[in-house]
Amino acid sequence: MILGLTRSWSLAGYIITAILILPLIALIVQSTLPDQAVFSHLFNTVLPTYIANSLLLMLLVGLGTLVLAIPAAWLIARCDFPFRRYFQWLLLLPLAMPAYIVAYVYTDMLDYAGPVQRVLRAWFGWQSPHDYYFPAIRSLGGAAIILSLVLFPYIYLLARTAFMEQSSSLLYASRVMGCSPWRSFWRLALPMARPALAVGVALVAMETAADFATVSYFAVPTLTTAVYDTWLGYGSLTAAAKLSAIMLLVVFSMIGVERFARRKQQLFQKQSSLNEADRYVLSSKMAWVALGYCALLLFIAFLLPFMVLCAYAIDYFNESWDVRFWQYSLNSLYIAAIVSGVCVVLSLILMFVRRVSPRKSDQIPARLSSTGYALPGTVLAIGVLVPLTFIDFAINDIYDWFGARGPGLLLTGSVFALIFAFCVRFIAISIGSLENSYKRISPSLDMACITLGRTPTQLLWRVHLPLLRKGIFAGALLVFIESMKELPAALLLRPIGFENLATYVFQFVSDEKLEHGALAAIVIVLVGLVPLIYLNRSLEQQG
């Protein structure tokens, strides 16, 4: 921070921040308004069930992801077995698969009419559901299993990093003191990794709380589905805002846990690198067990659903390859392109102000602008509807006052609401990307530029922009991909008759006809693989 900015730059940062946090403020204000009829009815009837299901689902998914991720992370980080180097990035692939698509595939396979139960009935001669017991996939437990399969890479990635950064000298010392590899893991490595695991569980819990499509498909009532149903079913924006405020309380509690756990990570003793000699050389039998576990986890969480999608796409290619597919693909592309461009420009202004301003108050806008990423899609949609609806009515009232016909739902009835919501939610990604890039630019370059008499605008244009190209590209790419995949906000905010790939696929999932939307689903999955490839390359370069 070496440069005094002109008031226009600083003011621009505050205006951008005020616009981006407007949905959050409007949501909180709207939730304080009286709405005795709808919310009181929900409070006295189904709200306790919504809250209990949400908390129980977060607990089950947190436990499930820990059980799946910790063994894989330990094997990849500290053991040597065939194809380990490939599995260290292959196990990230389930993040690219939307959970509701995995839910559909396994429901189709495991339901009463599915191939698994048909084979069991043929083998054992069962005639009806009363002859045997088979766990119901369409249940809260089924939703927890599906979400665990999709979300375990969050914990796997953090746990793997934590295990790799632990000092080998401590593990050697435990072995000298007579601990077996298992006892060394249980009594030393796992306790030291607890802060990273707490961070991962908090992230998983936040993603679980924000999930709408999977719980909706399984008919599991949670707070996310309650917000959606209250707005579309009861038409009460205030009641939906109250439910959203409850979700905000849950989400920000998770953020608080995550920040507290990350604070304790500085207590770890880290080493700069992990040599191949530091890994346990597994016996032939155990090596095959490790290989089988990683392969089975990858197959169940990603390969099997993806192969089923490919089979659907081939069988129903003529039905999928139509005008609607191209139209909805173009809708997704141009919405995502606009959002990524706007987010990059706004985040560049915010980070430039934060970089060069000597005033501590100018550091606040960039931090506040990132809070939208913590909002679940349905909550964000309600937060966007509140101020935009007010503005729409105000514009029409002005037209009526002048005796003219108003434009109608100018903001909420167009793609503007969708673009605005995506910008609020995903600008944190581009801010984070630019922040990392700015850390690599020496402050001496700023000093030299100002010494030569250049203005702040010239500093940004001639010095910072050329050096930030990779960060700008990475941020724009990640925002673009997230905008292509976002579903809950798109369902609530899309104009009448407007569809993108995410809503198009979910419509087929809801109608039990994913076969007809498999091609669009494959596009979403392939697009989701891009940030994972980028992440893997970044990790390899850091390694």
Q: Are residues 23 and 73 in the same domain?
A: no
Backbone angles phi, psi at 46, to 5 degrees: -110, -10
Q: Are residues 141 and 25 in the same domain?
A: no
Number of domains in the chain: 2
Range of weakest confidence among 36-40, 141-145, 398-402: 36-40
DSSP calls for 519-530:
HHHHHHHHHHHH
**What is the extent of the structural domain holding 138?**
49-220+293-300
Please say which residue of 269, 300, 331 terminates a domain. 300
pLDDT at position 146 is: 95
pLDDT at 220 over 60: yes
| C-alpha torsion sign, points 243, 245, 250, 251 | positive
Q: Are residues 490 and 362 in the same domain?
A: yes
Average pLDDT across the chain, whole number: 83
Tokens of 302: 């990603």
pLDDT at position 105 is: 92
pLDDT at 116 over 70: yes
pTM of the model: 0.85
DSSP calls for 87-143:
HHHHTTGGGGS-HHHHHHHHHHHHSTTSHHHHHHHHHHT--SGGGS----SSSHHHH
Please say which residue of 258, 273, 300 terminates a domain. 300
Q: Are residues 438 and 515 in the same domain?
A: yes
pLDDT at position 151 is: 92
Q: Are residues 17 and 68 in the same domain?
A: no
Please check whether residue 225 lies inside any domain of the structure: no
| 3-state class (DSSP) for residue 281 | strand
Please say which residue of 300, 333, 360 terminates a domain. 300
| C-alpha torsion sign, points 191, 197, 201, 202 | positive
Q: CA-to-CA distance for 377 and 433, rounded, in angstroms?
A: 22
> Over the stretch 335-372, which tens digit does the pLDDT of each residue have?
999 999 999 999 999 988 888 877 777 788 888 888 88
Please check whether residue 313 lies inside any domain of the structure: no
Host H or E run for residue 245? helix 237-263
Range of weakest confidence among 187-191, 305-309, 396-400, 492-496: 187-191
Q: Are residues 17 and 84 in the same domain?
A: no
pLDDT at position 299 is: 96
pLDDT at position 103 is: 92
The DSSP bridge pattern shows strands 280-281 and 79-80 to be parallel
pLDDT at 249 over 70: yes
DSSP calls for 410-441:
TTTTSTHHHHHHHHHHHHHHHHHHHHHHHTTS
Q: Are 478 and 430 in contact (CB under 8 A)?
A: yes
Q: What is the mean pLDDT of residues 269-281?
A: 56
pLDDT at 298 over 90: yes
Q: Are residues 10 and 78 in the same domain?
A: no
Identify the CA nearest to 246 among candidates 457, 15, 80, 52: 52
Percent of the chain whose predicted confidence (pLDDT) is above 90: 23
Q: Are residues 64 and 16 in the same domain?
A: no
Q: Are 291 and 86 in contact (CB under 8 A)?
A: no
Q: Are residues 20 and 103 in the same domain?
A: no
Identify the CA nearest to 67 among candidates 145, 176, 181: 145
Q: CA-to-CA distance for 232 and 243, rounded, in angstroms?
A: 14
pLDDT at 268 over 50: no
pLDDT at 428 over 80: yes
Please check whether residue 391 lies inside any domain of the structure: yes
Q: Are residues 458 and 529 in the same domain?
A: yes
